[in-house]
Amino acid sequence: MKFFVDTADTAAIKELNDLGMVDGVTTNPSLILKSGRDIIEVTKEICDMVSGPVSAEVVALEAKAMIAEGLKLSKIAPNIAIKVPLTWDGLTACKAFASEGLKVNVTLCFSAAQAILAAKAGAAFISPFIGRIDDIHYDGTDLIEDIRIIYDNYAFETEILAASVRSVNHVIDCAKIGADVVTAPPSVIKSMASHVLTDKGLDQFMKDWAKTGQKII
Ligand code: E4P
């Protein structure tokens, strides 16, 4: 399972990347806003740091304009994945990019039907947003499961990139289902290391060690 980091915070990406936890990065217009940085500048910095795919999202809504924006974004670095929304125009742009050999991440996917179209249009990644599905009281991981079955039935090569991941349980569920990639905020990835019994056990070991009066160094 690949880990992408869902952020444009370069310090957070560096910390995880130095530990070998980063297989790629996803950004979106909201994350660029949060970073307070220029999209081209911050995306270039991320691409220089991370060797895997870095998703940069177009903001045009019409296919021709999306293609122009995507081509500009693709020039930032060879590891750019152009992110397009799952609309008819987005699928049109996806097909055009894929025909040029460019990697495309089709984002804002909320149904298996949409995921089929993205695969047919040559997407390298499909991004189902599981947290936002949970927000409207459905189960986002059911969608990952449906897409996994469908893609496996037909050997579609598009990778399932579980997005809008909000918790450690989301990551575990996606891993059990067999999502190819999970993109999660740095806080979720870091909280995967926490367990109350680890803290409790460590506390007991420290207390007992102090009672021995010994030192290792
Ligand atoms: C994915 O590529 C998106 O950037 C992201 O996962 C959206 O997550 P959110 O629903 O928490 O904004």
Each residue of 124-165: pLDDT tens digit? Answer: 999 999 999 999 999 999 999 999 999 999 999 999 999 999
Catalytic residue among 2, 14, 75, 83: 83
pLDDT tens digits, one per residue of 53-78: 999 999 999 999 999 999 999 999 99
Structural domain contains residue 191: yes
Structural domain contains residue 217: no
Q: Could you identify the atom of ligand 1 that is nearest to the CA of residue 28?
A: 4
Structural domain contains residue 128: yes
148: helix, coil or strand? helix
CB of 131 within 6 A of ligand 1: the answer is: yes
- pLDDT confidence of 117, banded at 50, 70, 90? very high
Q: Residue 204 is part of a domain; what is its CATH number?
A: 3.20.20.70
CB of 7 within 6 A of ligand 1: the answer is: no
CB of 183 within 6 A of ligand 1: the answer is: yes
Separation of alpha carbons 191 and 193, rounded Å: 5
Rg of the chain over all Cα atoms, to the nearest angstrom: 20
CA of 31 to the centre of ligand 1 (A): 9
Rounded mean pLDDT, 47-53 = 98
Strands, E assignment, 58-186:
80-85, 104-109, 125-128, 159-162, 181-184
Closest residue by Cα to residue 23 from 41, 49, 42, 45:
49
CA of 33 to the centre of ligand 1 (A): 13
- pLDDT confidence of 12, banded at 50, 70, 90? very high
Structural domain contains residue 129: yes
Structural domain contains residue 51: yes
Cα dist from 48 to 13, 73, 211, whole Å: 12, 14, 49
Number of neighbours of residue 203 by Cβ within 10 angstroms = 10
**Measuring from atom 7 of ligand 1, which residue has the nearest CA?**
164
Number of neighbours of residue 211 by Cβ within 10 angstroms = 7
Overall number of domains in the chain: 1
Structural domain contains residue 152: yes
Contact 35, 67 (CB under 8 A): no
User: Which domain covers residue 44, as residue numbers?
Assistant: 2-212
Structural domain contains residue 16: yes
Structural domain contains residue 202: yes
**Residue listed under structure tokens 């177009």:** 58
Percent of the chain with pLDDT over 90: 100
Strand partners of residue 76: none
83 part of the active site: yes
- Which pLDDT belongs to residue 99? 98
Closest residue by Cα to residue 182 from 190, 172, 192:
172
Separation of alpha carbons 57 and 7, rounded Å: 13
